[in-house]
C-alpha cells in the first residue's frame, strides 16, 4: 500500500511537465479548479489541453500562459457567453485551437481508453468542421464498404480531476454527473486527483461501486475541500452562480483578466489561502441542498 | 391579418408583472416546437430555448417524454432552467447519472427521437451555425462552437431547431456550417425550425412556413426574415400560448 497523499504543490511539481498533454476533469460538475490554480501558480507552459466542453477553468490556464494548444468541442462560460481570454489568445496566435465536437473528443478519449488506434463514426463527414480536425480521416468499413470517419486515439500524459473522496492509495470515488471525466482519466497515462475527503480503505470497501478510477493509475491524492470551487460537487456544495455570472465581465479585457488572475491565484500561496480570502459566509451559503 | 380576438390583458399575461415580453417571446417559440413532440418520445436537449421546449413538453404537452442531456444526465425532470447540461438542478432530478459517452452512444444507435437545438444561424438547407459570424464589415466574431450540436444534428432521428425572432438568424447560407443537415443513414435531419411567430418545416428540403400564430400575418413574417422561404398551401393557424403555459414559462425562466 503506497501513501499517495501530497499537496497540490508537490503533485504539480512532480507530475506535470511543460509540453505535456493534459486532460482537465469535470464537465460542469467537480471541475479541477484547485489543481489548475497550482499549475498557473507554478507557471507551467506549452501544455496541450484536451477536453470536450472547455469551461472557465480553461480561461485560468490560458490567461496564465500555461497552454499553447487546445483541442476541444466547445469553449466558453456555459449558459452565459464566450471566453474572451481564449478568443484573444487564438487571435494573437498564442494558442492553437483545434475545434471539433463533443462526441468526437469523447470518441478519441474512448479509443485511448480502449487502447485501440481509432474509433469509426459517421460524424464530422460533412460541414465546415469536417477535414479541419487533426486526427480524423475517412475510412471504409471492411464489412459493408460504407464510409466512416476514423477518430484517432488521444492518450494524454496526465489527467487532473476533482472527486468526492479517495483513500490514500487512490481508489477514487466519484458520483453525480461524471460527463467526460472517466474516459479522460482512463485514456491518460496518470491521474492527479484532489478530493473533498480522504477516507479509510475500509470505508471504500463498503461502497466499491462508487470507485470509478483504479488506484494503479492515480499518482497523487490531494486533500482539498472545496477544490472544485466555483463549480459544484454533488452532495457537498452548490455552484457559485454569481462567480460564473460575473466571470465574463471580470475577464472582458487584458487588464481585467490580469487583475482576476492576480487576485485569484498569484496573491495566494495555495488554494486554501484563496478560499480563505473569499467573503466570510460565502462557502457556507453554498451548502448542498437535496432539492 | 389574423387577429386573436380573445386576447386580453389576462390571457397574454400582461396582468402578471413576471410575464415580460421576453418571456412571452421565448414561450411562443418553445410552444411552437413543443407541439411537434409526440408523447413517449426521447429527446436530446440542448441549452437555452430547447430547455423551455423540454419543460413545456414534459409538464403539459407530452408528459411521458424522456429527456437526455449531453453531460450524461438521463431521465431528467426539467423543472427549472439549467445553465449548463450538467447543472446541479437537473443532476438532482435525473434518474440516471450516465456519462457523455452513454448519451452520445444512444444518439449514434438511433435511440433519440428528437434533438432540440438552438443556433446562431439557420439556413435554407437546414444547416446550423454555432461557430462564427461574419459581420457586415467582414470581421469574424467567434462563438463557443459545436459542443454536441454537430453530433445531434447528424445522429438524432429528427432535429427541431428553436430560435428567437431575429431576422439575421434566418439566412440563405450560414456563415459557417457547424452542424450540417446531412443526417446519418435514413435519419431525417433538421425537419423544422420554431420561432416566436411561426414554424417552418423542411419537408421539401427548403423552408416552408407551415404554422403561424393566429395573431401574426403569414406574408409579413415570411417577408421579415433574411431567407427565401415559402408559405405552405395548407398553412395551419395556431393559438398562441396563454394563461397557464405563460405562467409556467415565466416561473421556469426566472428560476435559473
The pLDDT value given to residue B256? 52
Residue B175 has pLDDT above 80, yes or no: yes
Asked if B49 contacts B163 with a C-beta cutoff of 8 angstroms, the reply is yes
Distances (CA, A) of A269 to A38, A278, B38, B94: 9, 14, 56, 39
Least CB-CB distance to A127: which of B86, B155, B177? B177
The pLDDT value given to residue B16? 72
Residue A54 has pLDDT above 60, yes or no: yes
Residue A244 has phi, psi (to 5 degrees) of -65, -40
Dihedral of CA A184/B78/B199/B1: which sign? Answer: negative
Q: How many CB pairs under 8 A join A and B?
A: 148
B147/A53 Cβ within 8 A: yes
Residue B145 has pLDDT above 60, yes or no: yes
Given 3-state DSSP classes, what are the helix, strand and coil percentages for chain B, each rounded to the nearest 5? 25, 25, 50
Domains of chain A, first to last? 8-100+156-285 (3.40.1080.10), 118-152 (no CATH)
ipTM exceeds 0.85, yes or no: yes
Contacts of B20 (CB under 8 A, 6+ apart): B250
B149/A179 Cβ within 8 A: no
A76/B144 Cβ within 8 A: yes
Least CB-CB distance to A28: which of B71, B143, B150? B71
- Convert the pLDDT of each residue in A146-163 to its tens digit: 999 999 999 999 999 999
Domains of chain B, first to last? 21-254 (3.40.1080.10)
Catalytic residue IDs of B: 70
List alpha helices for chain A, DSSP H. Answer: 8-15, 33-41, 57-63, 84-91, 102-114, 181-187, 201-206, 241-250, 254-261, 271-276, 282-285
Alpha-carbon dihedral A28, A33, A35, A37, rounded to 10 degrees: 150
A274 pLDDT band, cuts 50/70/90, is very high
B154/A28 Cβ within 8 A: no
Least CB-CB distance to B148: which of A29, A101, A183? A101
**Measured between CA atoms, how close is A79 to chain B, in angstroms?**
5
Q: What is the mean pLDDT of residues A38-56?
A: 98
The pLDDT value given to residue B255? 64
* Torsion region of B126: left, alpha or beta (phi above 0 gives left; psi -120 to 50 gives alpha): left
Distance (Å, rounded) from C-alpha A262 to C-alpha A138?
A: 46
User: Quick one: which of B255, B203, B249 has its CA closest to B53?
Assistant: B249
The pLDDT value given to residue A229? 98
Asked if B97 contacts A175 with a C-beta cutoff of 8 angstroms, the reply is yes
Asked if A29 contacts A176 with a C-beta cutoff of 8 angstroms, the reply is yes
Distance (Å, rounded) from C-alpha B121 to C-alpha B4?
A: 30
Distance (Å, rounded) from C-alpha B100 to C-alpha B73?
A: 8
Asked if B153 contacts B177 with a C-beta cutoff of 8 angstroms, the reply is no
B38 pLDDT band, cuts 50/70/90, is very high
Distance (Å, rounded) from C-alpha B129 to C-alpha B180?
A: 9
- Convert the pLDDT of each residue in B43-73 to its tens digit: 999 999 999 999 999 999 999 999 999 999 9
- Convert the pLDDT of each residue in A174-225 to its tens digit: 999 999 999 999 999 999 999 999 999 999 999 999 999 999 999 999 999 9
A contacts of B85 (beta carbons < 8 Å)? 28, 78
B179/A179 Cβ within 8 A: no
Residue B7 has pLDDT above 70, yes or no: no
Q: What is the mean pLDDT of residues B201-220?
A: 97
Amino acid at each position: 500500500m503506497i501513501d499517495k497523499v501530497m499537496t497540490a504543490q508537490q503533485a504539480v511539481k512532480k507530475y506535470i511537465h511543460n509540453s505535456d498533454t493534459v486532460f482537465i476533469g469535470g464537465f460542469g460538475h467537480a471541475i479541477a479548479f484547485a489543481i489548475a490554480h497550482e499549475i498557473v501558480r507554478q507557471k507551467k507552459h506549452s501544455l496541450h489541453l484536451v477536453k470536450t466542453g472547455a469551461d472557465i477553468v480553461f480561461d485560468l490556464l490560458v490567461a496564465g500562459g500555461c497552454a499553447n494548444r487546445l483541442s476541444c468541442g466547445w469553449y466558453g462560460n456555459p449558459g452565459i457567453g464566450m471566453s474572451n481570454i481564449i478568443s484573444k489568445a487564438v487571435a494573437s496566435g498564442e494558442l492553437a485551437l483545434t475545434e471539433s465536437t463533443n462526441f468526437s473528443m469523447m470518441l478519441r478519449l474512448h479509443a485511448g481508453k480502449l487502447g485501440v488506434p481509432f474509433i469509426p463514426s459517421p460524424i464530422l463527414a460533412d460541414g465546415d468542421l469536417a477535414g479541419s480536425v487533426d486526427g480524423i480521416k475517412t475510412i471504409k468499413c471492411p464489412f459493408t464498404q460504407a464510409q466512416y470517419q476514423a477518430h484517432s486515439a488521444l492518450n494524454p500524459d496526465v489527467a487532473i480531476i476533482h472527486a468526492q473522496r479517495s483513500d490514500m492509495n487512490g481508489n477514487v470515488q466519484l458520483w453525480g454527473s461524471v460527463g467526460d471525466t472517466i474516459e479522460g482519466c482512463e485514456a491518460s497515462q496518470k491521474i492527479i486527483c484532489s478530493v473533498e475527503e480522504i477516507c479509510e480503505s475500509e470505508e471504500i470497501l463498503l461502497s466499491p461501486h462508487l470507485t470509478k478510477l483504479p488506484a494503479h493509475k492515480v499518482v497523487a491524492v490531494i486533500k482539498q475541500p472545496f477544490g472544485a470551487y466555483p463549480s459544484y460537487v454533488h452532495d457537498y456544495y452548490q455552484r457559485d452562480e454569481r462567480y460564473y455570472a460575473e466571470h465574463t465581465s471580470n475577464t472582458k479585457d487584458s487588464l481585467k483578466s490580469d487583475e482576476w488572475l492576480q487576485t485569484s491565484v498569484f496573491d495566494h500561496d495555495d488554494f486554501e489561502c484563496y478560499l480563505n480570502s473569499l467573503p466570510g459566509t460565502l462557502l457556507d451559503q453554498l451548502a448542498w441542498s437535496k432539492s | 391579418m389574423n387577429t386573436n380576438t380573445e386576447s386580453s390583458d389576462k390571457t397574454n399575461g400582461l396582468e402578471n408583472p413576471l410575464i415580460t415580453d421576453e418571456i412571452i417571446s421565448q414561450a411562443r417559440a418553445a410552444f411552437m416546437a413543443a407541439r411537434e413532440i409526440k408523447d413517449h418520445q426521447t429527446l436530446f436537449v440542448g441549452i437555452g430555448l430547447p430547455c423551455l421546449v423540454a419543460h413545456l413538453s414534459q409538464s403539459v404537452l407530452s408528459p411521458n417524454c424522456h429527456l437526455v442531456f449531453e453531460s450524461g444526465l438521463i431521465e431528467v425532470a426539467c423543472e427549472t432552467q439549467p445553465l449548463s447540461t450538467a447543472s446541479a438542478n437537473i443532476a438532482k432530478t435525473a434518474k440516471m447519472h450516465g456519462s457523455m459517452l452513454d448519451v452520445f452512444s444512444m444518439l449514434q444507435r438511433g435511440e433519440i427521437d428528437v434533438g432540440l437545438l438552438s443556433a446562431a444561424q439557420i439556413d435554407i438547407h437546414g444547416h446550423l451555425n454555432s461557430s462564427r459570424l461574419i459581420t457586415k464589415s467582414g470581421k469574424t466574431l467567434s462563438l463557443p462552437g459545436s459542443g454536441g450540436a454537430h453530433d445531434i444534428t447528424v445522429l438524432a432521428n429528427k432535429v427541431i431547431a428553436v430560435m428567437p425572432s431575429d431576422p439575421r438568424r434566418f439566412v440563405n447560407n450560414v456563415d459557417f456550417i457547424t452542424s450540417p443537415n446531412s443526417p446519418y443513414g435514413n435519419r431525417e435531419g433538421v425537419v423544422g425550425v420554431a420561432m416566436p411567430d411561426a414554424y417552418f418545416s423542411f419537408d421539401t428540403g427548403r423552408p416552408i412556413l407551415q404554422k403561424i400564430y393566429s395573431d401574426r400575418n403569414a406574408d409579413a413574417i415570411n417577408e421579415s426574415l433574411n431567407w427565401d422561404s415559402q408559405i405552405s398551401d395548407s398553412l395551419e393557424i395556431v393559438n398562441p400560448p396563454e394563461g397557464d403555459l405563460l405562467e409556467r414559462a415565466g416561473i421556469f425562466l426566472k428560476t435559473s
